[in-house]
Structure 1
Amino acid sequence: MRLRLVPKDTKWDFFKTSTLTMGFSALLMVASLVLFFMQGLNYGIDFKGGTTIRTDSDISVDVGAYRDALSSLDLGDVSITEVFDPAIPDLHVTQIRIEAQEGDEAVTTDTIANIKSALQAYEPSIKFAAVESVGPKVSGELVWTAIEAVVAAILAVLFYIWLRFEWQFSVGAVAALVHDVVLTIGIFSMVQIKFDLAIIAALLTIVGYSLNDTVVVFDRVRENLRKFKKLSLKDVLNLSINETLSRTVMTSVTTLIALVAMFVLGGDVIRGFVFAMIWGVIVGTYSSVFIASAILLRLGVKRDWSKQNPEAGGQYADIDA
């Protein structure tokens, strides 16, 4: 017996409440922007500046013990990660990242000395291999580089979908991506989870995941536009979403199972990244069905794909990739 998360041959009308869902999404986007500008994000060391300390030890690293040893120093945002060095397999390496202290461009030498003393009190054999600082200027450059990466990804999607389908499909897909990114930034602003370069990687992954879902639906829409030329565009869109719904839900659920396991068992190092991915999978699945397709319905689309239309699509519009 095959497992089905969605009933076979569904005939749900996804546009019955499209005005309500679009309005709700627009309200969430506005709320996300308001939160971002009023409360901001809890930027990590990558964006605020700070100091990275690399330590070497002959015994196994206890990250919790290291964190407890440093807790009394009131250092603010501290990230402790065990690193495997393949060049020296018997050596236990730890990377400690400390945010820039208020009023200082980097962690002062006195603070570093206190850190060394606290860790050596716990582990006398510990060695400090390297100390590196990231100043505000470099952090500012990282912020702009991250913004450029997200914008470039969205523009690349716009260009690809335009060539693959028509400009109406492109607008719908990009609107869904912008929706997903804005809501993700909004939830991070609300819950104040640390926002660093790992979250930017999650945002780019969300863009790719949401695009994948959207392209699957749009491919079926294009096939059905050719097959059912007398059906209204709304009926074709409903038919296409229902036909791909089982695949969409199964992909999202199996992905979420893995992500939830990582969120619960993966520890603090990757928790922010996994949280962003979980949220992105949920809103990405939602936007593929309720945002991208709804916008396509409102913009309209060429119905007769057997004829060339120089004003719609591009030279690659009929290629099945």
Structure 2
Amino acid sequence: MEIKFVHISKYAAVVSLIIIIAGLIALGVQGLNYGIDFAGGAIIYANLGQKYDISDVQKIVSDAEGEGDISYAGDKNQDVVIRMKLTDNHQEIEQEITQGLKDKYSIANEDINIDMVGPSVGKALTLNAIKSILIAWGLILVYVWIRFELKSGVAAIVALIHDVLIMFSFVVLTRMQVNSSFVAAILTIVGYSINDTIVVFDRIRENTKRYGRKSSKVDIVNKSINEMLPRTLNTSLTTLFTITVVYVLGVQSIKEFSLPLIIGLISGTYSSIFIAGPLWAVWGEDADEKLAVSK
């Protein structure tokens, strides 16, 4: 049985709109939970000289009443990096953490280094992130325009904007930290999502040549998406399974990248099925009706 994706797409669009509006409302009410990359903070780098368990370091940070992202670093993962936001008593917390590391791992003062990151770095990172996303969208639009047509390029960009807004709304609603990992996840999803969309547009182009005179654009899009659905779902589920395992087994810094990526993968698959192709079909049908009326 052929699924009428174009007809279902209006309901899917309502669901997307609800999620995006909820994210924008939450943004206005509570703002973003900026990480150290954007808000500034302290980075404690320590050479522990031995293998260690992150949970042990996390206990030291918790005992000092601090909050931070902890990750392995250095050769053989014997170094630790603790990234913390600035607070009113951050110096006292830093001293307790460094003393805890010294007591636990018998290291000296020279094995510990504390660097401060100002919010100005976050402003530069934000600007560069926006530039990167806009440049990516522009190049994708040109590529799809050349390979297919302008309507396909615009539909693809609308789908990509949808994916970014869904990821952004999820991060706002769940109060996840907005940091460089989130920016990397967005750029990753932009590349992944457009690949899925191009595969669908390839099949639409083939079916347009084959059935163009006998079928409407809506029927062609429905047929094309149905034909590509097994391939799309298999690819997406395989990738999703891998990223989910990374999220479950990974440390906090990996989770901050993989969780938005999971949402983006789901949204990217969803948009290639319910946004890009159906939007192209609706625009094409409207253009054909206007052309028929003018004649």
The two structures have a TM-score, normalised by structure 1, of 0.83
Alignment counterpart, residue 55 of structure 1, candidates 43, 46, 51: 46
Of 67, 75, 79, the residue aligned with 1:93 is 79
Residue-pair matches, total: 285
Task: Return 52-61 or 171-180, whichever deviates more.
Answer: 52-61
Higher mean displacement: 92-101 or 231-240 = 92-101
Q: Write the distance in 2 (CA, Å) between the matches of 1:111 and 1:151.
A: 40
Cα deviation, 1:189-209, whole Å, max 9, x if unaligned, reads 111122210111111111111
Aligned residue among 90, 101, 106 for 1:119: 101
Which is richer in helix? 2
Counting only pairs closer than 5 Å after superposition, residues 162-241 of structure 1 correspond to structure 2 as 162-230=145-213, 231-241=215-225
Corresponding residue for residue 21 of structure 2: 30
1:251 matched to 2:241 = no
Taking the aligned partners of 2:69 and 2:9, their CA distance within structure 1 comes to 44
CA RMSD of aligned residues (A): 2.1
CA contact (8 A) 1:44 1:194 kept: yes
CA–CA distance in 1 between the matches of 2:125 and 2:11? 38
Look up the equivalent residue of 2:69 and give its one-letter code: S
Matched AA of 2:46: T
**TM superposition shift of 1:111:** 4.5
In 2, the alpha carbon distance for the partners of 1:245 and 1:70 equals: 48
The gaps in structure 2 that reach 5 residues or longer are 288-295
Q: Does 1:80 align with 2:62?
A: no
State the alpha-carbon separation in 1 of the partners of residues 112 and 252 from structure 2: 24
Q: Does 1:39 align with 2:30?
A: yes
- Residue pair 2:6, 2:221 contacting (<8 A) in 1 also: no
Distance 1:37 1:155, change over 3 A: farther
DSSP-derived class of the 1:58 partner? coil
* Residue deviations 1:20-71 (CA, integer Å, cap 9, x gap): 2223322322222222232222211111111112211222222211121121
Please tell me the residue identity of whatever aligns with 1:192.
R
Contact 1:220/1:240 (CA < 8 Å) preserved in 2?
yes
**Contact 2:65-2:93 within 8 A present in 1 as well:** no
Q: Distance in 1 between matches of 2:97 and 2:243?
A: 34
**What's the offset of the Cα at 1:247?**
0.4
Structure 1 gap segments, 5+ residues each: 1-9, 304-321
Moved more, 209-218 or 18-27: 18-27
Q: Under a length normalisation based on structure 2, what TM-score does the superposition of the two structures give?
A: 0.89
Aligned partners of 1:250, 1:225: CA distance in 2, in Å? 25
In structure 2, how many angstroms separate the alpha carbons of the residues matched to 1:237 and 1:193?
A: 37
Q: Distance in 1 between matches of 2:48 and 2:18?
A: 52
Q: 1:299 aligns to what? A: 283
Q: String of CA shifts for 1:86-143, please: whole Å, max 9, x gaps.
A: xxx6x821112121224x9xx54x5543332122122222553432211111122112
Change in CA separation of 1:236 and 1:65 when aligned onto 2, cut-off 3 Å? same
